Structure 1
């Protein structure tokens, strides 16, 4: 199942820089691992914002929730999820 996920990150202004840096490092490692195993299909930064648009390919909404809630930055995110399905006018026969 494909899901369009928007994640807006809001770190507390008073968070120590070393703590924020460690969270970001761990987040990057986890995001890259999820991309390598095919669960996190696409990841785009939204220009000018600490936010991204992502496409996840998971077996269920429960798996998506488990995956997203395990992210180190999850407690500091506002997340919007939209399930996706193939459009009948698409010229693509796969999910490229």
Structure 2
């Protein structure tokens, strides 16, 4: 199942810099692990915002929920999810 996910990050301004840096480091490692596994297929930064648009390829709504809630930055995120399905006019075989 494919999902389009927008993540807006809002780290509290009073969070100590070293704590924020450590959380971002864990977030990067986790997201790259998911990208290597094929679960997190694409990630794009939103210009001028601390936000991203991503495409996830997972087995179920529950799996996506588990992945998103395990993100180290999850407590500081606003997330919106849109389920996707293959468009009949698509010429790509790998976008199922």
- SS at the partner of 2:86? coil
In structure 1, the partner of 2:48 is 48
Q: State how many pairs are aligned.
A: 96
Deviation at 1:91, TM superposition (A): 2.0
The normalised TM-score by structure 1 is 0.96
Q: CA RMSD in A?
A: 1.1
Deviation at 1:27, TM superposition (A): 0.2
- SS at the partner of 1:29? helix
Structure 1: stretches of 5+ with no match in the other structure: none
Poorly superposed stretches of 4+, deviation over 6 Å: none
In structure 2, the partner of 1:3 is 3
Deviation at 1:95, TM superposition (A): 1.7
CA-to-partner distance for each residue in 1:22-62, whole Å, 9 max, x for gaps? 00000000000000011100011011100000000000000
Q: Report the Cα distance in structure 1 between the residues aligned to 2:44 and 2:79, rounded to whole angstroms.
A: 15
Structure 2: stretches of 5+ with no match in the other structure: none
In structure 2, the partner of 1:72 is 72
